[in-house]
Structure 1
Amino acid sequence: MTTTSRHAPRSADPAEPSLPLSVLERGGHPAGTSAEQAVRDMVDTARTADAHGYRRFWVAEHHAVRTSASSSPAVLIAHIAARTERIRVGSGGVMLPNHPPYTVAEQFATLQTLHPGRIDLGIGRPSGGSTEAHRLLEAALRRAPGAGTGFPAQIDELLGVLFRRGPDRNRFHSLPLTPRSATPPEVHVLGAGTTSARLAGERGLPFVYGHHLSRSVCRPEAVEGYRAAFRPDPDHPGQDGSRPHLAVSVHVVCAETDELAESLALRTAVHLAVHSGNTTSLGPLSPAREEHLARRILDEYQVVHGAPAKVAAELEALAALFAADELMIAPFEVSGEARARTLRHTARARVTSPARRAARR
């Protein structure tokens, strides 16, 4: 039986300012799909975002994760930027403790010379862990001897190289960065906690709050902490460091109807639970138990789902809650076709900016 959305389509009011939408791509690699197809899916999703007016397309950095094909952001960015036309392409993000900052600066300076004015460098730090697998991964990704220790020092080292800062702010100031484009890539800090937010604010950088992460790691107070800590920094050519810029990332499933979107979101939640190993100790699940588990996952990861009108209303509410300047859509589903569908449908409903609209009154 065909169902229809309970939410009537909205007509966009030209007087209402539109909220910029961007995309956070986690590089889904479904079981049974080849690595080649998973990478092609990322490129196709980026082309969909480009065609539908999204501002940015960022790829994540995941290592030793079988369900993701996104382990090398710089390589993927080069490939995606060459196959898109207008959209900014970047990292969401480079996990800075995994790399020497000077190497990251060289990679993104090269990308910026290849695609002038279209490259973003989003940086963050991995969640870490104490398991043997985490320790082994940290050893495999070990940084060069003598590199700065601690995330704040690594950020300062990176910024010092990119923005030609002197010895007081960059201990490698005597090393030239090559190639050096006229304008460095935009630098953003990603995080879900107060430490990353404060670091972004103190350095006058844009901050991306990871609302799409689980409730257990998200700290909503980080947003106000970012604004309170913000100090303008004029040494960031090519981006506005005079005021805070907050983007909020959010999981989304968008389809033709609310009912279909909910069904797809629940199906994806079960798929992710099974392939993450979270259900192995539970034995076979009854349909009721399976649905209960899926709804818990959707709640834990705060997944917005519905037809375009419902999704737009929920995104506007989220933007109003945080007074966000931008939203980053993280398509929740795993397959490339499904992620592209969510982006197409989300773009259909114009998401207005409640914060900006209120400022005009």
Structure 2
Amino acid sequence: MTELKNDLLLRALRGEEVERPPVWMMRQAGRYLPQYLELKAKYDFFERVQTPELATAITLQPVDLVGVDAAIIFSDILVIPQAMGLEVLMEEGKGPSLPQVIKTISDIDNLQTGGVEHSLRYVTEALSLTKRELNGRVPLIGFAGAPWTILCYMVEGKGSKTWDKAKQFAYTSPELAHRLLQKITDITINYLIAQAKAGADMVQVFDSWSGSLSPADFKTFAQPYLLQIVEGVKEHVPVTLFPKGSWYALEDLSKSGASALGIDWCVSPQFARHATGNRMTLQGNFDPSKLLAPIPDIQSAVKEMIDAFGTRRYVANLGHGITPNVPVDHARAFVDAVKSYKAPQE
């Protein structure tokens, strides 16, 4: 096994002393990079995801071009509904859509949960190939969507600002919702373990839509399944949970056994440190829109952010995915500002 030349991320997840925080960006492999857009012009979305050589090339681009401290495999959270037997369409400019939504108990019972090693082999092959190509330069991150977020797409059939159909389903048919959430959880645990075996050095669970839930409903429909995933996966690989918008859950999730919690820009570093009792590594939380500011402003905002979090138990990142309109030199300025950070002198 090739030794990691840059293990800052893994040391930060373990809470060890680091000379500076590691830095990577959610959605760093993709739509803001001209080299990605060249591949996008030739291959459709799932062709890029399902061809290991293409997924590897895209995964490596931000490491080569922006200088991040970790690679995150190019894939999508909706490969799980596909592996469970649902069709997922990705239309340009429209986002994802699932023509066949989940409504009844038979819809749920017909979903597949076994054989993820076979149905999602293209992801594990891409991980193994990327691991070889990286040759120990930086760690490799695998990921999956959280059960609540996946349920949202399966029930709603497309993206939404409010997720009313998904929430109506959960509130009016809670038994069905829990049955579906458990199925998603079971396949996700197996999927993340397969990613670890294929070479992922850590995994992240994206609960992109958990912030649509009230604190009480989060505890009912999101938290139990996140805890199961951490419990099932943490012996194989470190786990980061990213429940976007669910600031109210930080205290509970800090006791989950996860290695890190991702937070968005609506939470102050001070609040997050207090809520988690400084028990664990925090990741975040630069507003992606702030990458559109002038470069000197990005540099000073990054310094303020790291000063507030501190260098220990911290991974510098965005509070959500990088947007397509961010200039590459602004993304690079963000990364470089973290790399050149000097702690204030006592």
TM-score range, shorter chain: 0.3 to 0.5
TM-score norm. by structure 1 comes to 0.45
Q: Relative to total residues, which structure has the larger helix share, 1 or 2?
A: 2
